[in-house]
Structure 1
Amino acid sequence: MSAKEIIQKFYKSDALIDSDILKDYLHSDIIVDWNSSKGFIQLDYDSLLSLSNDLSKAYVRSKVRISHIVSENDMVTVRYSHFVKTIENPREEMLLAHFIAIWQIKDNKLYRGYQMSQLS
């Protein structure tokens, strides 16, 4: 599977709100540098699983709409919008944030991530 296909499959899955699925995509040495509208954080394997668990407590559904994706060798850049359905209102889809991420794939897993986001 190509790096681009891995990223597309990752974002089509429920990995962002299901840590069991997320484990299948993460390299054990993953590091994500994330610049958000609230500041900079660096996430490793365990903190990404913890984030996924936290998201699953608030959201019953997660959907990513990719607008741009560019791939070269083991690097993939993706621009997307992340939509969720809350536990309180599972019928209404709401825009959570806009993202751009650069991913490096190693051993067919997400290895390095550089991400920027802006809340909707």
Structure 2
Amino acid sequence: MHAKEIVLDFYKSDVILDKNAVKEFLHPEITIDWNSSKGFIQMNFDDIIRLVEEMSKAYLRSKIKISHIIEEGDTVSVRFSHFVKTIENQREEMLLAHFFVIWEIKEGKLFKGFQMSQFS
């Protein structure tokens, strides 16, 4: 599977809310360097799984709308908007944030991520 296909599969609807599905995409030594509107965060495998568990408690649905995706070898850059439906308001889809991430793929898994985000 090409690096771009791995990233596209990872961002399919609701995968990000399912920790077992997410685990299938993550290299055991994964790291994400994340610059958010709240500051810098560095996450590893366990941190990512904890984030997924927290998100699945708050959101019923997750949808990623990709506007740009570029593959070069084992590196994929993707720009997307993340929409969610909350438990409190199941009928309304809301924009959570805009993201840009560069993924390095290793052994068919997400290995290193360099991400920036901004709340909507």
TM-score (normalised: structure 1): 0.98
CA shift at 1:14, angstroms? 2.3
2:62 counterpart residue number: 62
User: Aligned runs of 1:19-58 on 2, under 5 Å?
Assistant: 19-58=19-58
**What do residues 21-77 of structure 1 show as CA deviations (whole Å, max 9, x unaligned)?**
100000000000000000000000000000000000100000000000000000000
SS in 2 for 1:24: helix
Name the counterpart of 1:10. Answer: 10
Structure 2 equivalent of residue 115 of structure 1 = 115
User: In 1, Cα distance between the equivalents of 2:37 and 2:17?
Assistant: 21
Q: What is the DSSP-based 3-state SS (H/G/I as helix, E as strand, rest coil) of the residue aligned with 1:90?
A: coil
What is the alpha-carbon distance in structure 2 between the residues aligned to residue 113 and residue 94 of structure 1?
A: 25
- Aligned partners of 2:111 and 2:3: how far apart in 1? 11
Q: Structure 1: which 5+ residue stretches go unaligned?
A: none
- Superposed structure 1 runs of 4+ greater than 2 Å apart: none
Which segment is superposed worse, 90-99 or 5-14?
Answer: 5-14
Cα RMSD between the aligned structures?
A: 0.6
TM-score of the pair, normalised by structure 2? 0.98
Q: In structure 2, what is the equivalent of residue 77 of structure 1? A: 77
Aligned length: 120
Deviation of 1:13 (Å) = 4.4
Fraction of identical pairs, as percent: 61
- What's the counterpart of residue 102 of structure 1? 102
Q: Which amino acid aligns with 1:18?
A: D
